[in-house]
Amino acid sequence: MLSSLTSLVSRLRLKQLRLLIALADHGSLVKAAEQVHMTQPGATKALQEIESAMGAKLFVRSNRGLEPNALGHCGVRYARLILTDLAHLREELSGILDGHGGRLAVGTIMGAVPILTDALARLLTRQPNVTVEIVEDTSAHLIDLLDQGRLDVALCRTSVSEHPEVYRTLKVRDEELAVVAHPEHPLATRKALDLKELSDFRWVVYTANTPMRLLLEREFRDVDVQFPPTLIETTSAFMTLSFLQRQKSMVAMLSVDVAKEFERFGFVTLLPVVFRYRSEPYLLVTRRDRSPTPVAEIFMSEFAGSAKAPQTAIS
């Protein structure tokens, strides 16, 4: 029977988590004990204590040594996350004590990548010792990471949350959308296009129920054209670009900012499709119940200054 969270917190120790990782890395109790500076009997006892604390067997013996089972793989993964978070804690404490540096974890949707890059470049000019982690994903996943404390700030939309009132937001930009293709696409030289003419091509699109995907579906519905049935779904700009380079007949929808970045290097061409609607604006988002770190505050001031659309006050 799995142990309660209270039991886990009171019984597990950091050295045991290090042993768990070493066992997964080496598959040998002897080598794992050496790595964490324990005797073999001590390591054996520690493993028994770990499994007792978790209420489950985590490793099985095979002809290759000790191997984690499904529960063991889960335990090892979280042990790595805990120790990584501790390393980040020390890094941030060191930056605060030195009066500079620190760590910033920021999330972004694809369309905000160019403006985020500009803001981070300015931040790093002012604070060259800052370590930055960037997560690119959907608004829904970024909001989850923000809630978990994995991100300091995110560039996304709070409309995907059931409780948007728990976030402090700053409007950054109204996102414009574009249809793009390889420069050698059969329709690349056209001066005007509509969605009906593009409906038979394979599309690279955002995943279902994301704001940009819903907008594209609405555009097709309003002109009474069937939404393309053969799709490549991804939230990755690089994956989108890779498909367009390899399949020159494909088309994709991107934010105008991202599309123009790709067009500048000759990777894509913007097709002359006019959208009736605009996507929701994206926001600079933090949790109301948490104070931003000094580095996050500097970043937010830099980012607010980089926005090209009129700003609204933080609400």
Q: Domain spans of the chain?
A: 5-83, 100-174+281-306, 177-271
In sequence order, the β-bridge partners of residue 105 are 133
Per-residue model confidence as pLDDT tens digits over 241-276: 999 999 999 999 999 999 999 999 999 999 999 888
- How many other C-beta atoms are found inside a 10 Å radius of the C-beta of residue 262? 20
Q: Which two tokens stand for residue 233?
A: 């779904």
DSSP assigned state of 288 = T
Per-residue model confidence as pLDDT tens digits over 24-58: 999 999 999 999 999 999 999 999 999 998 888 99
- How many other C-beta atoms are found inside a 10 Å radius of the C-beta of residue 165? 8
pLDDT at 86 over 60: yes
Range in 131-135, 225-229, 276-280 the model is least confident about: 276-280
Q: Which whole number is the average pLDDT over 133-140?
A: 93
Indicate yes or no: pTM above 0.85. no
pLDDT at 304 over 80: no
| 3 state DSSP class of 225 | coil
Q: What is the dihedral of CA 287, 289, 293, 297, to 10 degrees?
A: 60
Asked if residue 223 lies in contact with residue 194, where contact means CB atoms within 8 angstroms, the answer is: yes
pLDDT-based confidence at residue 306 (cuts at 50, 70, 90): very low
Share of the chain above pLDDT 90, in %: 61
Asked if residue 76 lies in contact with residue 20, where contact means CB atoms within 8 angstroms, the answer is: yes
Classify domain 177-271 by CATH number: 3.40.190.290
Q: Which two tokens stand for residue 69?
A: 């089972």
Share of the chain above pLDDT 70, in %: 94
In sequence order, the β-bridge partners of residue 66 are 61
Number of helical (H) and strand (E) elements in the chain, helices listed first: 12, 12
Maximal C-alpha separation, the chain: 77
What size, in residues, is the chain?
A: 315
Q: Which whole number is the average pLDDT over 300-309?
A: 61
Architecture (CATH level 2) of domain 5-83 = Orthogonal Bundle (1.10)
- How many other C-beta atoms are found inside a 10 Å radius of the C-beta of residue 151? 25
Q: What is the helix (H) or strand (E) element at residue 298, kind and residue range? A: helix 294-306
User: Topology of domain 100-174+281-306, per CATH?
Assistant: D-Maltodextrin-Binding Protein; domain 2 (3.40.190)
Q: Which whole number is the average pLDDT over 227-236?
A: 91
Residues near 113 by Cβ (< 8 Å), separated by ≥ 6? 136, 237, 257, 258
Give the pLDDT confidence score for residue 10 in this predicted structure: 87
Asked if residue 110 lies in contact with residue 98, where contact means CB atoms within 8 angstroms, the answer is: no
Per-residue model confidence as pLDDT tens digits over 151-166: 999 999 999 899 999 9
Residue type, 203: W
Same fold, 100-174+281-306 and 177-271: yes
Give the pLDDT confidence score for residue 192 in this predicted structure: 94
The mean pLDDT of the chain is 88
pLDDT-based confidence at residue 98 (cuts at 50, 70, 90): low
CA 204 → CA 55, 210, 251, distances in Å? 46, 14, 6
Give the pLDDT confidence score for residue 100 in this predicted structure: 59
pLDDT at 219 over 50: yes
Phi-psi region of 290 (alpha: psi -120 to 50; beta: other; left: phi over 0): beta
pLDDT at 312 over 70: no
